[in-house]
Amino acid sequence: IKKQGKNNYGIYSTYEDDNMANPIVLENDLRKALERNEFVVYYQPKIDVEREMISGVEALVRWEHPKKGLITPIHFIPLAEETGLILQIGEYVLRQACQQCVQWQRLGLPPIPVSVNLSIGQFMQSNLISNIQRIMNETGIQPELLEFEITESMSMNLERSIEILSELQKLGVHISVDDFGTGYSSLNYLRQLPIDTVKIDKSFMKGIPNDRNNEAIVATIINMAHNLNLTVTAEGVETFDQVQYLRKHNCDNIQGFYFRRPLPAEVFEQEFQHILND
Ligand code: C2E
Ligand code: CA
Ligand code: CA
Ligand code: CA
């Protein structure tokens, strides 16, 4: 894939987190935001390293506050989790992402798998599977184009997690483990859960390829995952040197500011069309 055009390198991007607002958010603000439809979904491409093509996008929520501007999820997801509002926000993001995926196909673009983050609250919800099934039916998304990202912390109750994930897999969707390497039961987790992909946490990308420890960790995770027949996505990839290192170690997919920051749907669509036409 081509790198971004002249003015589109990550650091110059106009879409970014750096200048996102850092407000104090109250529960009632979140409720109003839901009522007023102020949440928007951005999409960050993942790149297939070998084929040098876009292999999917991750859906990332933002809050478009009418006065405060774009608010980053770290400022409201924790409160949303605490108050249970994450269920509604999560459902909204899922529906948007599915609709968008279907829409892109209708526009004649190649199929673009979308990944949606599942919060612990959603994961533990008793009607998780039926909710997802309903949204999949309503939007008409092909199951193989939908992926859920879960975190290691959700496997605290391993038996229950295996149950839920097996149900998810029966729907035909993909499952990846996000922020991999930051939790506790990593090896055990990978071996026992029905998953397809691990996403190496972005903290391990720091200092690659000079940091010996992170180098060892990243190479080991890739090997281990491949031996377990899982694919690997590296996130937080910001430099060409990191890309080279990951390519050398056969990492399957990479995601990060080096290629694109999370983008509004229309912007992603335009850039993707552009890449296809080049
Ligand atoms: P995450 O799932 O680990 O998502 C990746 C985060 O890394 C995103 O932050 C993304 O913008 C950022 N990122 C991507 N490339 C790079 C890079 O090269 N360098 C660095 N430093 N960062 C990069 P974002 O969008 O601010 O989201 C933060 C977290 O909020 C997410 O982390 C996820 O845990 C949560 N989140 C976002 N959207 C949702 C959602 O719809 N539902 C739930 N439950 N959580 C969400
Ligand atoms: Ca994620
Ligand atoms: Ca992550
Ligand atoms: Ca995360």
pLDDT tens across 244-277, in order?
A: 999 999 999 999 999 999 999 999 999 999 888 8
> What is the whole-number distance in angstroms between the Cα of residue 107 and the centre of ligand 4?
31
Q: How far is the CA of 278 from the centre of ligand 3 (A)?
A: 31
Complex ipTM over 0.95: yes
The answer to whether 178 and 147 are in contact (CB under 8 A) is no
Which residue would you say has higher pLDDT here, 263 or 155?
Answer: 263
Our answer on whether the CB atom of 90 is closer than 6 Å to any ligand 1 atom is: yes
The tens digit of pLDDT for each residue in 192-237 reads 899 999 999 999 999 999 999 999 999 999 999 999 999 999 999 9
Dist. CA 227–CA 211, nearest whole Å: 24
Residue nearest to atom 12 of ligand 1 (CA): 236
Per-residue pLDDT for 12 more than 80? no
Q: How confident is the model at residue 186 (pLDDT cuts 50, 70, 90)?
A: low
Residue 10 has pLDDT above 90, yes or no: no
Mean pLDDT of 47-63: 97
- CB-ligand 1 contact for 202 (6 Å cutoff): yes
Site to substitute for ligand 1 among 9, 30, 57, 60, most atoms within 8 A of C-beta:
60
Q: What is the pLDDT of residue 197?
A: 96
Mean pLDDT for 44-58 is 96
Indicate the pTM of the whole model: 0.93
Give the pLDDT confidence score for residue 152 in this predicted structure.
85
Residue 140 confidence (pLDDT) = 98
Max mean pLDDT among 5-14, 98-107, 157-166 falls in 98-107
Q: What value does the mean pLDDT of the chain take?
A: 91
Percentage of the residues of the chain whose pLDDT score is greater than 90: 81
What's the sign of the alpha-carbon dihedral 43, 82, 198, 137? negative
pLDDT at 158: 86
**pLDDT computed for residue 118 by the predictor:** 97
Distance of CA 74 from the midpoint of ligand 1 (Å): 8
The count of other CB atoms within 10 Å of the CB of residue 172 is 12
- Residue 179 alpha carbon to ligand 4 centre in Å: 6
Ligand nearest to the CA of 120: 1
CA distance 274 to 153: 39
Rounded to an integer, what distance in angstroms lies between the CA atom of residue 112 and that of residue 105? Answer: 8
Cis peptide before 209 (omega within 30 of 0): yes
Does ligand 1 lie within 6 Å of residue 75's CB atom? no
Atom 45, ligand 1: which residue's CA is nearest? Answer: 117
